[in-house]
Chain A
Amino acid sequence: MKMFFTILICKLLRFFGGLIGRGSSLPGQVALKLCPDILSRVQLPEYIIAVTGSNGKTSTVEMIAHILTENGKSVAWNKEGSNQIEGVTTLVLGNSTLGGKVKRDILLIESDERFAKYTFKYITPTHYVITNLYRDQLTRNGHPEWVYDAIRQSIHEETKLILNADDPLVSDFGYGKDDVIWFGADKLSTDTEISDSVYDDGAYCPHCKKSMKYSTRHYNHIGHYECTSCGYKRHDTDHSVTSVDLEKGEAVIDGKYTVSLALKSLYNIYNILAAYTVASVIGLDGEKVAADMSNYVMKNGRVVTFKLGKRSGTLLTSKHENSISYDQSIRIAAADSRGCDVMFIVDAVSRKYFTSDVSWLWDIDFEMLDCENVHNIILAGKYCNDLAVRFSYTSISQEKIKIFEDIGKAYEYLDSDREEYIYTITCFSDKNKFLGLL
């Protein structure tokens, strides 16, 4: 009876909350108050797929949901991105009958890394995808090993792990387990031999802490590594990206399925590969899945194309306090052979919390912008001075750099006869301060 009422109230709150924009987290919060173990009382579907990691969670989950739906499966997933226990509770109860049965083929859960241990106290995923562990929002997350320890506590013995073999810290979750499903990329044409970024989180073995060597690096600490001491090394993969042509916008999976990329970035390829791996676990046809993924444009709005006066541009939503997310956007701009102007906005460091910390700027590989393709660089927002200092420590000519504290002034500067394509690189917290001007 308690379950019945809890589900009923959650559903009602979800409906009415949805009308006022509070339908994703609040109903679950109330439900957990009424019945703290409600998640372990409901009857869940055969497949419960969880996804966590620093970057790419939302995109990976959206891609998985897209594929599953295209292949006739019914999926319950946290579309709104509410990824802590309250949001997951809303998701589960919202898709459940009043008798407590989730009436979907698959429950797909994006989970916050640090809080996964609370959500998965009540739900045991059948499969658990861990995408990567990067320096992400360190003002709250501490550091990647701190997050590793938190995720570790969310893993059940009976859950099958689906791990990124190219990330040494993520792979350590699978250490000594023989039923892990591994995904990764073969040596790619875009690889480098040495780390060219400003810090190296792959310098030391996560397992024994001695030096690691890489035979190839996809980017940052993602690549083919081997410990010089304990023998810990990149695991052979079950599913791989076998080749990539970023210029053409194509990636080949398992040597046979070509996927056309809506977003021509290496980082995006991992989201696609993770989604493909999940599809193969469910038993879907590889060729069909590759076709479903081809040219699929994410609905999560992270890439926005715009017109600014006579000029065209793309806003690449990146995450403040996450250097790899910035690197990813910078790589796209630097590769644009049409020639481009690149704008950075750091106005509010965080969306939810106040912080004035800009030490993460020092982890971003701005040096990549020192290339022919990149013409002017515009630094805007309250923290434009900190950006300017950071750029003064790159080899980029200071003449290329224009600084505006006022985002409106930066906008006016861009509204010119220049022909360069514009890339605006900023965070969720700041993007509307620019898009609102258009």
Chain B
Amino acid sequence: MKILHLYYDIMNLYGDYANVLAIERIMQKSNINCTVDRLSFGDNAVFSDYDFIFIGSGTERNQKLVLEDIKRYKVVMKEYIDSGKVMLMTGNSFEMLGKTITSADGTVYDGLGFLDFNVTEQNKTRYTADAVFTAEFLENPLVGFINKCSEIQGIEKPMFTVKMGLGNFNDDTGEGVRLNNLFGTHLTGPVMIKNPYFLGYVAGIIIGDEKKLSTKHLGFEKSGYDVTLSELTKRMANETK
């Protein structure tokens, strides 16, 4: 089993790299041999070699550089996604999947065009919030943090339902997007560490059977998740009072 951490050195703004560690560890604990490649500009990533590919979040300027570079993989990336293999894109990296990204100065950048959405950035306010999301495919809600300056219009079927936090655009009740087994969300940072149940779900798809995974090592992860969820739930209750 092979993992690729793509643009590891430039798209790693909020501890995103830990997602790769979480997948690597759950595989090792489940007695599945696992190697990780970390590649960036100037490397040649052979997408079809991998079982899991991860890209994290970056600054607005760095995302544009990566967007220009990732276009050389457009065909193989599409094949990878169509084949049902697993990919995770956190923060603004998944914004590259759409039609366009318009930066704060009005420049329009063409996206990869795999999905029919448009992204608009601004440079006045940082949109940040603690987040609680639910997903149809998961029993347990997700927790995390949103840190962005953009809005995404045109995602018809978002991946998550927003219970707390920010959606794809202001007041949207949906967040992120799923394309086959590509998971794209603005939940920043170590999503897979913070959400051990989501980790189990994604890792299950990678190996084809979630039941074959060992999750005994996730004790602190689950306790940490419980504390965060209960803190955020308390706050939601206070806010609706």
Contacts and interface: CB of A to CB of B under 8 A. Distances in A.
Contacts of B61: 145, 209
25 contacts: A138-B14, A139-B145, A140-B128, A142-B126, A143-B13, A145-B59, A146-B149, A199-B12, A204-B10, A354-B130, A355-B130, A356-B143, A357-B145, A358-B224, A359-B190, A359-B194, A362-B193, A382-B227, A385-B221, A385-B223, A386-B224, A388-B224, A389-B193, A392-B220, A393-B18
Contacts of B147: 138-139, 142-143
Nearest to B64: A209
Contacts of B13: 135, 138, 143
B228 A356 contact: yes
A47 interface: no
A71 interface: no
Contact of B227 (A146, A209, A354, A383): A383
Residue among A198, A199, A359, A386 with most chain B CB within 10 A: A359
B145 A145 contact: no
B126 A359 contact: no
A406 interface: no
B17 A198 contact: yes
Q: Which A-B residue pairs are the 3 nearest by beta carbons?
A: A359-B189, A362-B15, A385-B224
A385 B10 contact: no
A196 B128 CA distance: 30
A139 B144 CA distance: 11
Interface in B69-106: none
Contacts of A388: 220, 224
Q: How large is the interface on B (under 10, 10 to 19, 20 to 34, 35 or more residues)?
A: 35 or more
Interface in B14-32: 14-15, 17-18, 21, 25
A198 B21 CA distance: 13
A146 B130 contact: no
B235 A146 contact: no
Nearest to B196: A389
Contacts of B17: 198-199, 362
B101 to A, nearest CB: 16
A358 B232 CA distance: 13
A146 B220 contact: no
A354 B231 CA distance: 10
A420 interface: no
B211 to A, nearest CB: 24
Residue among A200, A356, A392 with most chain B CB within 10 A: A356
B189 A356 contact: no
A145 to B, nearest CB: 4
A267 to B, nearest CB: 21
Interface in B176-206: 188-190, 193-194
Given A142-B149, A199-B17, A357 B130 contact: yes
Interface string A376-403: 0000001101101100110000000000
Nearest to B148: A142
Given A143-B59, A359-B189, A362-B190, A393 B21 contact: yes
Interface residues of A, number: 36
B224 A359 contact: no
B142 to A, nearest CB: 13
B138 interface: no
Contact of B15 (A145, A356, A360): A360
Nearest to A200: B9
Given A141-B126, A385-B220, 7 more contacts: A145-B59, A203-B9, A356-B228, A359-B14, A359-B190, A362-B18, A389-B220
A322 B204 CA distance: 34
Contacts of B12: 199
A203 B10 contact: yes
A135 B57 CA distance: 14
Interface in B211-241: 220-221, 223-224, 227-228, 231-232, 235
A361 interface: yes
A389 B189 contact: no
Nearest to A139: B128
B60 interface: yes
A356 B193 contact: no
B123 interface: yes
A363 interface: yes
B126 to A, nearest CB: 4
Nearest to A386: B224
A116 to B, nearest CB: 16
A149 interface: yes
Nearest to B221: A389
B123 A149 contact: yes
Given A383-B224, A389-B221, A392-B220, A356 B130 contact: yes
B170 interface: no
B203 to A, nearest CB: 16
Nearest to B223: A385
Given A357-B130, A357-B189, A389-B221, A363 B15 contact: yes
A354 B223 CA distance: 20
Interface in B29-72: 41, 59-62, 65
A386 B228 CA distance: 10
Residue among B10, B15, B60 with most chain A CB within 10 A: B15
Contact of B232 (A142, A356, A383): A356
Contacts of A385: 220-221, 223-224, 227
B220 A359 contact: no
Contact of A209 (B65, B149, B189, B194): B65
A434 B129 CA distance: 28
Nearest to B123: A149
Contacts of B220: 385-386, 388-389, 392
Interface in A140-168: 140-146, 149
Contact of A389 (B9, B144, B188, B224): B224
Contacts of B65: 209
Contacts of B14: 138, 359-360
Contacts of A386: 194, 220, 224, 228
